[in-house]
Structure 1
Amino acid sequence: MNLPFFIARKYFFSTRKRNFIHIISLVSMVGVAIGTMALVVVLSVFNGLEDLIRSLYQSFDPELQVQPYEGKSFVRTDSLYQVVLNTEGVALVTEVIEDNAYLRYMENEAVVKVKGVSDNFLDQNRLQNSIVAGRLLLQEGNIPYAVVGRGLQYRLGISISNDFYALQLYYPKNIQAGLTDPSRLTNRKLVMPSGVFALERQYDEQYVFVPLSLAQELMSYGDKRTSFEIKVAEGYSRSTVQKALSERLGTQFVVKNSDEQHASLLKAIRIEKLFVYLTFSFILAIASFNIFFSLTMLAIDKKKDIAVLRSMGATTSLVKKIFQFEGAIISLGGALIGLVAGLAVCFIQDRFGIISMGMESSILDAYPVKMNPLDFVFTGLSVIIITWLASFNPARLASKTSMAEHL
């Protein structure tokens, strides 16, 4: 057995004398365990929230989206459409016109995002599971319909069953000098609501889905489109299809996957997770002060033992290793307990949802968690580094013990 580790273990597990130093060592271990457990749990919650946001947006956003590199719209041509459609791995191409418009319902009004989509939008199966009232219907024969978010429904008092009031959509025209007739300043379209979707507040309070033809007439877009939304065929990876589309379309267009469509939000979550990791690592560093003090007092208490070892031929390096191993036992023992406890807490939360988010939600009631092995690795590395730094000075102090003074 390694001699420094053997002696360090005897110091920590000795039952002959439970003194104040031993109590501080146990308190240090508990502190490290609690800090480690908290770090693992919080990082797992951030992972769960990130996955939750991804799942919410994937229900609304396309798998791939083609947008112009500059400006908000591009001219849709048959050749361009065929280039996208005939790219290997592309199953569906939905044409989209999306812009802000003014919505009026009875005496209520709001500025909304009108999203006009081509007929094959329903084949992408993105909103079917989010309909909470009415039905997902955009066109029946020659009659257009609109699907609105639940937030808009509440705010404007929209009734799906009321056939006497339609949604009034207004969009400004290209105003010419000298035009004074208010009725000629905007395009106006009437459309009946057919359904209500509930997904996420950002969408529920803004979006109105209408047929592409209605959006064309309302916004006078003609052959212009704001994006193509792509459904990837089964058996193909999104990254492969994205790369192929980017190569075929060139630099005039940008092809984004679901993460890139919300790059700023996901980046903000990762930055927040990083700062949480740094904050809890700092808390672990503060907890390691207990290790520092307990090892320092142990080095003072064991000066006679150290002198005996030195007289028997123990080197300075061996004495240092004894106290470094003592610090490792305290901190790594606490870290192991904390990792196991954190794993147990995350498992229980994931399985039973013990801790509620404290708000009514049709999406999720309890905090989501997702355990990432890298979080455990980085947490363990943090503990190892902090431990080494905390035990360095006490080990150096112990190695300077004079044999002549203590024998």
Structure 2
Amino acid sequence: MTFLFAWRYFKAKKTTNAINIISWISILAIAVGAAALILVLSVFNGFEDLVKGLYADFYADVRVGPAKGKTITLTTDQLQKLRGTPGVATMSLIAEEKAVLVNEEYQSIIYLKGVDEQYTQVNGLAKHIIKGKFLTGVADDPLLVLGAGIENAVGVEPGVSIQPLTVYLPNRKAVNFSGMDALNSYNAFVSGSFVLQQDFDNKYAITNLGFVKYMLDMAEDEYTAAEIALTPGTDVEDITDQLSAVLGKDYQVQTRYQQNQSLYAVMQMEKWVIYGILSIILVVAAFNMIGALTMLVLEKQKDIAVLRAMGADNHYIQRIFVNEGIVLATVGGGIGILLAAGICYLQIEYKLLKLSGGSFIIDYYPVKMLPQDFLLVVSTVFFISLLAAYIPARKASRQQFSLKS
């Protein structure tokens, strides 16, 4: 019954035209706030998915590394146990070290990553090759796959440059690290280059595992890490627990999230900051609602007096005007959410809004709508609206109005 009163008050034409205007301004403000929240959160989700996808193409589902130091030892028996663990689809062995890449007067400090034949099955880096091919060569004839940033830094182009690059790696057997024997060097040609993400493009060069192990004088069963791809549907946490039990405390087993924990934490924090800032729009709308409901209370003095005469208590009167606030929130929030959903759909289907500049992987704003974002926005709208409606509703329930004009 209280909701029926609220709905009739909403539809009825007010004696004072300003009440109608303020009511619709508050509805418009709620609609704008709700739409802005949905749109920005959906675009943020799109960028978040894009970034996670790019990192997923470089980082494996699970990484086994040293708990301390820079290298791990994986015996034949351990490798068999790892590969035989249920849920493990493919495993690639890695040897990685900082190096200096020189092309005559050009040089760049890089991370040289030696990989085996299974590496392309563990991640999706090979599909981001923009020049040449993903070929790493063999131990005595290495080939380099460079990030685009490194390619530019050393002035080389796959398939065009005829001069090899010189790779300098630390000599682990050197006695005097300030002398000439502190570094080992070897010539290598470039087979391809990739564009994935700036953090990787400016940092990594990929070659074969045997070459890096030879240059670093690593033992046969010595590696920097093992990267593992899991079968779809596998419980990642369960697998990491199993692998940790197999390997022991000297090994660190990390999921993709744990390998990039700071990145994911920052992205989540950014999302909540954006949500908090945009919620201020709804707070502004709440002030308009307070004004509209306060004026409505003053206009409905006689109605309130009649209801009291008929036996309505303070709580009943209060609920009428709280429900009036809910009506305003429902209309405004509903308009805003439908508008935002429509815009998001058009962007997903037709890519209407383009990104300026030509340096991005995609040329449009990515959008991803999530049900939990809609639920969050609906909850926020109703929570703020209830707080805003409570103030004039409480005032209406406590004041005594007379039927006399």
Superposition TM-score, scaled by structure 2 size? 0.93
Show the counterpart of 1:99: 97
SS of the residue corresponding to residue 189 of structure 1 reads: strand
Q: Distance in 2 between matches of 1:315 and 1:203?
A: 68
Show the counterpart of 1:47: 45
Asked if 1:190 corresponds to 2:187, the answer is yes
Equivalent in 154, 157, 161 of residue 156 of structure 1: 154
Equivalent in 202, 206, 219 of residue 203 of structure 2: 206
- Which stretch of the first structure deviates more once superposed, 36-45 or 255-264? 255-264
Contact 1:98 1:115 in 2 (8 A): yes
Q: Distance in 2 between matches of 1:103 and 1:7?
A: 78
Contact 2:101 2:154 in 1 (8 A): no
SS of the residue corresponding to residue 165 of structure 1 reads: coil
Q: Distance in 2 between matches of 1:342 and 1:307?
A: 42
Offset at residue 35 of structure 1 (A): 0.1
Offset at residue 233 of structure 1 (A): 3.9
Show the counterpart of 2:400: 402
Equivalent in 197, 212, 215 of residue 215 of structure 1: 212
* Paired residue type of 2:358: E
Shift in CA distance, 177/36, structure 1 to aligned 2, threshold 3 Å: same
Equivalent in 390, 393, 402 of residue 392 of structure 1: 390
Equivalences, count: 404
Structure 2 gap segments, 5+ residues each: none
* Paired residue type of 1:90: V
- Which stretch of the first structure deviates more once superposed, 22-31 or 242-251? 242-251
Asked if 1:321 corresponds to 2:322, the answer is no
Shift in CA distance, 246/178, structure 1 to aligned 2, threshold 3 Å: closer
Matches within 5 A, 1:153-302: 153-162=151-160, 164-174=162-172, 182-223=179-220, 224-233=222-231, 236-302=234-300
SS of the residue corresponding to residue 311 of structure 2 reads: coil
* Paired residue type of 1:324: V
Structure 1 gap segments, 5+ residues each: none
- Report the identity percentage: 32
* Paired residue type of 1:320: Q
SS of the residue corresponding to residue 118 of structure 2 reads: helix
* Paired residue type of 1:299: V
* Paired residue type of 2:191: S
- Once the two structures are superposed, residues 361-400 of structure 1 have per-residue CA deviations (whole angstroms, 9 ceiling, x without a partner) of 4621111111111111111111111111111121111122
Contact 2:56 2:123 in 1 (8 A): no
- Once the two structures are superposed, residues 328-369 of structure 1 have per-residue CA deviations (whole angstroms, 9 ceiling, x without a partner) of 111121111111111111111111112222231462111111
Asked if 1:117 corresponds to 2:115, the answer is yes
Q: Distance in 2 between matches of 1:94 and 1:260?
A: 19
Offset at residue 88 of structure 1 (A): 2.1
Offset at residue 237 of structure 1 (A): 4.8
Asked if 1:138 corresponds to 2:142, the answer is no
Offset at residue 140 of structure 1 (A): 5.8
- Which stretch of the first structure deviates more once superposed, 350-359 or 191-200? 350-359
Q: Distance in 2 between matches of 1:118 and 1:161?
A: 23
Offset at residue 269 of structure 1 (A): 0.4
- Once the two structures are superposed, residues 150-190 of structure 1 have per-residue CA deviations (whole angstroms, 9 ceiling, x without a partner) of 1111222112234641111112335866677x431211111
Q: Distance in 2 between matches of 1:309 and 1:209?
A: 80
Show the counterpart of 2:77: 79
SS of the residue corresponding to residue 306 of structure 2 reads: helix
Q: Distance in 2 between matches of 1:232 and 1:394?
A: 58
SS of the residue corresponding to residue 20 of structure 2 reads: helix
Superposition TM-score, scaled by structure 1 size? 0.92
* Paired residue type of 1:268: V
Offset at residue 79 of structure 1 (A): 2.5
SS of the residue corresponding to residue 8 of structure 2 reads: helix
Q: Distance in 1 between matches of 2:239 and 2:176?
A: 50
Q: Distance in 2 between matches of 1:359 and 1:242?
A: 42
Offset at residue 80 of structure 1 (A): 2.3
SS of the residue corresponding to residue 60 of structure 1 reads: coil
* Paired residue type of 1:337: I
What is the alpha-carbon root mean square deviation over aligned residues?
Answer: 2.2
Q: Distance in 2 between matches of 1:29 and 1:319?
A: 22
Show the counterpart of 1:21: 19
SS of the residue corresponding to residue 25 of structure 2 reads: helix
- Once the two structures are superposed, residues 112-138 of structure 1 have per-residue CA deviations (whole angstroms, 9 ceiling, x without a partner) of 010011233244462221111111111
* Paired residue type of 1:57: Y
Contact 1:54 1:259 in 2 (8 A): no
